[in-house]
Structure 1
Amino acid sequence: MTATDLVLHHYPRSPFAEKVRVAFGLKGLSWRSVIQPRMAPKPELVALTGGYRRIPVLQIGADVYCDTRRILAWMDRVAALGHGTVEELSPEQALDIARLCQPMATSASPHNDIADDQGLPFKEGVMVSVMPTDWGFDPVIGALVSAGHDSIALRREDPDVGATVVHFPRAGFAIARL
Structure 2
Amino acid sequence: MDSIILHHYPPSLFSEKVRVLLGYLGLPWQSVIIPPMMPRPHLMPLSGGYRKTPIMQIGADIFCDTEIICRTLSAMSDQTDIYAPGFNAERIARWADTELFKITVALNFRPEAIAAQMSQMSASDLEAFQKDRAELAGGQALVSISPDAALAEFQVLMDQLSHSLHQPFLFGETPCIADFSVYHCLWFVAGNAANARLFDPWPAVRAFVERMQAFQTNAWEDLSAESALEIGKAAEPRLSRKGQSINPSLANGLTAGTAVSVEPNDYGRIPVTGTLQSWTPHAIVIEREDPIAETIAVHFPSIGFEVSRA
TM-score (norm 1): 0.90
Letter aligned with residue 298 of structure 2: V
Letter aligned with residue 12 of structure 1: P
The alignment-based identity, stated in percent, is 41
Q: Which runs of 5+ in 1 are unaligned?
A: none
**Shift of the alpha carbon at 1:32?**
0.3
Corresponding residue for residue 221 of structure 2: 87
Corresponding residue for residue 231 of structure 2: 97
1:55-109 CA deviation, whole Å, 9 max, x = no partner?
111100000011011000101111139x982111111000011111111035564
Corresponding residue for residue 176 of structure 1: 308
Letter aligned with residue 6 of structure 1: I
Q: Which runs of 5+ in 2 are unaligned?
A: 80-216
Structure 2 CA distance for partners of 1:12 and 1:84, relative to 1, 3 Å: closer
Equivalent of residue 165 in structure 1, options 297, 302, 306: 297
Corresponding residue for residue 245 of structure 2: 111
State the 4+ residue runs in structure 1 displaced beyond 6 angstroms: none
Corresponding residue for residue 21 of structure 1: 19
Letter aligned with residue 49 of structure 2: G
Equivalent of residue 4 in structure 2, options 6, 10, 17: 6
1:39-67 CA deviation, whole Å, 9 max, x = no partner?
12222111101110111111000000110
Corresponding residue for residue 130 of structure 1: 262
Equivalent of residue 67 in structure 1, options 56, 59, 65: 65
In the alignment, the residues of structure 1 paired with residue 53 and residue 258 of structure 2 have an alpha-carbon distance, to the nearest angstrom, of: 27
Partner of 2:71, secondary structure, is helix
- 2:282–2:301: 8 Å Cα contact kept in structure 1? yes
Larger radius of gyration between Structure 1 and Structure 2 = 2
- 1:28–1:84: 8 Å Cα contact kept in structure 2? no
Letter aligned with residue 132 of structure 1: P
Partner of 1:8, secondary structure, is strand
In the alignment, the residues of structure 2 paired with residue 113 and residue 57 of structure 1 have an alpha-carbon distance, to the nearest angstrom, of: 25
Task: Compare the two structures and name the one with the higher strand fraction.
Answer: 1
In the alignment, the residues of structure 1 paired with residue 240 and residue 52 of structure 2 have an alpha-carbon distance, to the nearest angstrom, of: 25
Structure 2 CA distance for partners of 1:13 and 1:110, relative to 1, 3 Å: same
Equivalent of residue 55 in structure 1, options 48, 53, 56: 53
Structure 2 CA distance for partners of 1:139 and 1:162, relative to 1, 3 Å: same
Letter aligned with residue 42 of structure 1: R
Letter aligned with residue 90 of structure 1: S
1:85-136 CA deviation, whole Å, 9 max, x = no partner?
21111110000111111110355642211457xx842200100000001100
Task: Compare the two structures and name the one with the higher helix fraction.
Answer: 2
Equivalent of residue 145 in structure 1, options 252, 266, 277: 277
Query: Which protein, 1 or 2, shows the higher relative CO under an 8 Å CA cutoff with sep ≥ 6?
Result: 2
Equivalent of residue 44 in structure 1, options 42, 51, 58: 42
In the alignment, the residues of structure 2 paired with residue 177 and residue 8 of structure 1 have an alpha-carbon distance, to the nearest angstrom, of: 30
TM-score (norm 2): 0.53
